[in-house]
Amino acid sequence: MNHEASYDYDLFVIGAGSGGVRAARTAAAAGARVAVAEDRYLGGTCVNVGCVPKKLYSYAAHFHDAFEESAGFGWTLAQAPSFDWATLRDNKVEEIKRLNGIYNRLLDNAGVTLINGRAKVVDAHAVEINGERISAEKILVAVGGWPWTPEFEGSELTVNSNQVFDLDSFPQRFLVLGGGYIAVEFASIFNGLGADTHLVYRGELFLRGFDNEVREFTRDEMAKKGVNLHFETNIQRIRQVETGLEVTLTDGEQLEVDAVLSATGRKPHLAGLGLDTLGVELNADGTLKVNERYEASVPSILALGDVIGGPELTPVALAEAMHLVQHHFPKDESDGAPGPLDYDDIATAVFCHPNIGTVGLSEEEARARYGAVRIYSADFRPMKHTLSGSDERCLMKLVVDDTSDRVVGAHMVGEEAGEIIQGLAIAVRAKLTKRDFDATVGIHPTAAEEFVTMRSVTRR
Ligand code: NDP
């Protein structure tokens, strides 16, 4: 590799989240001299206030159903189960400390220099951190996003998704504002943990952008589990009263709760980074504009992850990091430049209860793109619930382009939907046809076998 030795580093990464750490380690493994600056926690949003603690809390909430459902299978609990918030929260803190340590060792073992502090970009090849100026051939901005809360009377009384994990005491009455991933996940979590839970969303139906049938099914299932859904309304004001928080909605309804989570989206975390003085171009939504090599309008400035405004998902940031390193620090120049990263058919899961797993196009998107589509949809009671007494149902759905017979979308709402859709994501990406699905012998007895046994068209 032939990098300019006149710089202190070949790559200076700002932000040790999923994308920043992956880029730093991979570039270092390719022979680059790399430093990472981080002023908060190693592992970024995902490890500290996102995916990881969320999944742990979601597991905790699922026990609620498990205890109730066990009776039909012959179990008697010696006493009624009770939940202790402090135990969950403090165990979570310990686990995250362990993960922070792993990230530290990963960087160390890769030979990356970790600098504790908030870096500021001072020119196209230099940053300032802790009063020191450090030069680098390339600077990677991997600072992620930050929760954003709209302004209304009392909005300062809300907590955001960074704070909700560590509440001092368990909110017996909980309200979530928003209708995206974070809102539905936390509504399910606090409902499962035993809080009287409300979700307030300004639109007609939450999870905008997801398949409509999935959204409606999820609405019904969440309502059955006891989440109080308030659609087409918003928070007008919150007032602190003696016994809690008095929330007034725009439709006039008043609720009293112990905590309000604002889950109204995230914004790029660019304040104070110095990029404005360099004239780096932004997209209309304030995210950093990059080309397919992840170069900003100042080409020595690179960026990836939530800050560039693609799908805000850890695996996307990781894929971007691998791509970026192949472009800028190729291990073997003869490998040639990679093509642009393919953002189609990225599977995701929403860990509301029951979970949603989805890959490819919604029915509505497929109709708009292909015109003629076939829908195969099954809404059934999972075998477990024949004895459990639960009325939870499961939805599985395939969206097929009628002309090519290709399965262009697979959707599920039900237990372990994320685990099941991950496998189907390979089939959808590989552009397999409904005929391939039909030719696959199922695994019995599973819920997932439904995906290869749905034979009759639900609608065209
Ligand atoms: P989202 O952008 O997904 O959702 C924001 C929600 O807030 C929308 O329902 C939006 O409504 C609503 N909203 C926006 N502005 C206002 C306002 N002024 N007043 C009232 N409501 C408002 O953001 P999240 O915060 O839920 O999550 C951020 C991102 O993090 C997600 O998009 C996702 O990419 C990622 N994430 C992924 C997870 C996973 O993979 N399981 C889990 C958690 C987060 P409207 O729809 O009308 O615009």
Is ligand 1 within 6 A of the CB of residue 182? yes
Is ligand 1 within 6 A of the CB of residue 315? no
Is ligand 1 within 6 A of the CB of residue 267? no
Ligand 1: centre distance to CA 34 (Å):
34
Q: Which of 162, 202, 267, 348 to mutate to test the pocket of ligand 1 (most atoms within 8 A of CB)?
A: 202
Other beta carbons within 10 Å of 313: 19
Q: Considering just the CA atoms, what is the radius of gyration of the chain in Å?
A: 24
Is ligand 1 within 6 A of the CB of residue 452? no
Ligand 1: centre distance to CA 372 (Å):
31
Is ligand 1 within 6 A of the CB of residue 53? no
What residue's CA is closest to ligand 1, atom 46? 208
Q: Note the Cα 321 to chain centre separation in Å.
A: 17
What residue's CA is closest to ligand 1, atom 35? 312
Nearest one of 202, 223, 354, 212 to 265, comparing CA atoms: 202
pTM tops 0.85, yes or no: yes
Nearest one of 47, 66, 43, 44 to 55, comparing CA atoms: 47
Query: DSSP label at 335?
Result: G
Nearest one of 7, 1, 2 to 300, comparing CA atoms: 7
Residue 56's SS3 state is helix
pLDDT at 5: 66
Is ligand 1 within 6 A of the CB of residue 204? no
The domain made up of 348-453 has a fold known as Enolase-like; domain 1 (3.30.390)
Which positions are catalytic? 444
Other beta carbons within 10 Å of 387: 13
Residue 126's SS3 state is strand
Are 450 and 378 contacting, i.e. CB atoms less than 8 angstroms apart? Answer: yes
Ligand 1: centre distance to CA 145 (Å):
12
Which atom of ligand 1 is closest in space to residue 150's alpha carbon?
Answer: 18
Every domain of the chain and the residues it spans = 9-146+267-335, 155-264, 348-453
Which atom of ligand 1 is closest in space to residue 147's alpha carbon?
Answer: 25
Ligand 1: centre distance to CA 265 (Å):
4
Ligand 1: centre distance to CA 205 (Å):
13
pLDDT digits (tens, 9 = 90+) for 33-89: 999 999 999 999 999 999 999 999 999 999 999 999 999 999 999 999 999 999 999
Is ligand 1 within 6 A of the CB of residue 180? yes
Buried b (16+ CB within 10 A) or exposed e, 246-268: bbbbeeeeebebbbbbbbbbbeb
Q: Which CATH class is domain 155-264?
A: alpha beta
Strand bridging mode 9-14 / 34-38: parallel
d(CA 222, CA 420): 20
Ligand 1: centre distance to CA 125 (Å):
35
Is ligand 1 within 6 A of the CB of residue 431? no
What residue's CA is closest to ligand 1, atom 22? 264
Ligand 1: centre distance to CA 255 (Å):
22
Are 39 and 13 contacting, i.e. CB atoms less than 8 angstroms apart? Answer: no
The domain made up of 9-146+267-335 has a fold known as FAD/NAD(P)-binding domain (3.50.50)
pLDDT at 338: 86
- For 315, the token pair is 């695996």
Which atom of ligand 1 is closest in space to residue 206's alpha carbon?
Answer: 9
Q: Note the Cα 215 to chain centre separation in Å.
A: 17
Is ligand 1 within 6 A of the CB of residue 52? no
Is ligand 1 within 6 A of the CB of residue 265? yes
d(CA 131, CA 182): 37
- pLDDT tens-place values along the chain, 460 residues long: 455 569 999 999 999 999 999 999 999 999 999 999 999 999 999 999 999 999 999 999 999 999 999 999 999 999 999 999 999 999 999 999 999 999 999 999 999 999 999 999 999 999 999 999 999 999 999 999 999 999 999 999 999 999 999 999 999 999 999 999 999 999 999 999 999 999 999 999 999 999 999 999 999 999 999 999 999 999 999 999 999 999 999 999 999 999 999 999 999 999 999 999 999 999 999 999 999 999 999 999 999 999 999 999 999 999 999 999 999 999 877 777 888 999 999 999 999 999 999 999 999 999 999 999 999 999 999 999 999 999 999 999 999 999 999 999 999 999 999 999 999 999 999 999 999 999 999 999 999 999 999 999 999 9
Q: At what angle do helices 181-193 and 212-224 cross, to 10 degrees?
A: 20
Q: Are both 9-146+267-335 and 348-453 of the same fold?
A: no
Other beta carbons within 10 Å of 455: 8
pLDDT at 104: 97
d(CA 155, CA 157): 5
Query: DSSP label at 4?
Result: -
Are 191 and 57 contacting, i.e. CB atoms less than 8 angstroms apart? Answer: no
Q: Where are the alpha helices (DSSP H) in 330-413?
A: 363-370, 384-388
pLDDT at 192: 98
Are 288 and 297 contacting, i.e. CB atoms less than 8 angstroms apart? Answer: no
d(CA 395, CA 412): 5
- For 358, the token pair is 């989805």
Which atom of ligand 1 is closest in space to residue 234's alpha carbon?
Answer: 20
Phi then psi for residue 372, to 5 deg, are -85, 115
